[in-house]
Amino acid sequence: MFHMRTRSVAAAAALIVGITACGSSDGGDSADQSAAADTTGAAIWAHLQESNYQTDWELWPDKGRLYQGGQPHGALLTTYLNDVAHQALTSGATVMPAGAVVVKENYMPDSTLAAVTTMFKVSGYNADHSDWFFTKHLASGVLDTMPNGMDMEGRLPGCQTCHMAQANNDYLFTSVLGGN
């Protein structure tokens, strides 16, 4: 069982890498759509670890590490962007393209990492919510669970409802897109 799960996670991580690469090109929509159904929280976590997001990705511009946060995330936050998301943000895009990944580390007031929340833009995944795939992992890398026992991955009602308040900013709260 473990061996099969490991292979599944590796395969899903490879899909994420492929999706991310497609998101930066001009014609990756069909690959994005076919991979969307295979997106999982485990694959997101594996991709984050393999890509060394904490050292190799950009921090959200003008935020730095451990900036002031709030509920439902943490008292302190650090937000990372993959190349696709960083390029879109710094070039003045008004929406994130497919393949964009935004990682928010959620810290307690004493700077202890509590959780890692991720937004992954997948073309055709969830048009009603700007095609964002959401995850929430505990600091250990294990997916957090909702009160009903479901893993916190995918079309999460709480994330979608909250982020809808920023629908005119592609569901992002950290700063205004489009250079405004």
Taking the C-alpha atoms of residue 25 and residue 21, their distance in angstroms, rounded to an integer, is 7
DSSP string of 114-137?
A: EEEEEEEE-TTS-GGGTTEEEEEE
The gap from C-alpha 48 to its chain's centroid, in whole angstroms, comes to: 9
Q: Is 85 helix (H, G, I), strand (E, B) or coil?
A: helix
pLDDT score recorded for residue 8: 36
DSSP string of 20-81?
A: HHHHTSSS-HHHHHHHHTT--HHHHHHHHHHTTHHHHSEEPTTT-SSEE--TTS-SEEEEEE
- Give the other-Cβ count within 10 Å of 63's Cβ: 15
The gap from C-alpha 176 to its chain's centroid, in whole angstroms, comes to: 17
The CATH number that applies at residue 113 is 3.50.70
Find the domain containing 114 and state its range. Answer: 2-179
| Domain tally, the chain | 1
pLDDT score recorded for residue 32: 35
Contacts for 115 with CB less than 8 Å, ≥ 6 apart: 73, 74, 105, 106, 136, 137, 138, 139, 144
Q: Return the sign of the alpha-carbon dihedral for residues 93, 73, 111, 118.
A: negative
pLDDT score recorded for residue 122: 95
pLDDT score recorded for residue 180: 52
pLDDT score recorded for residue 37: 42
pLDDT (tens, 9 = 90+) of the chain, 180 residues, equals: 333 333 333 333 344 444 343 333 333 333 333 334 458 999 999 999 999 999 999 999 999 999 999 889 999 999 999 999 999 999 999 999 999 999 999 999 999 999 999 999 999 999 999 999 999 999 999 999 999 999 999 999 989 999 999 999 999 999 999 975
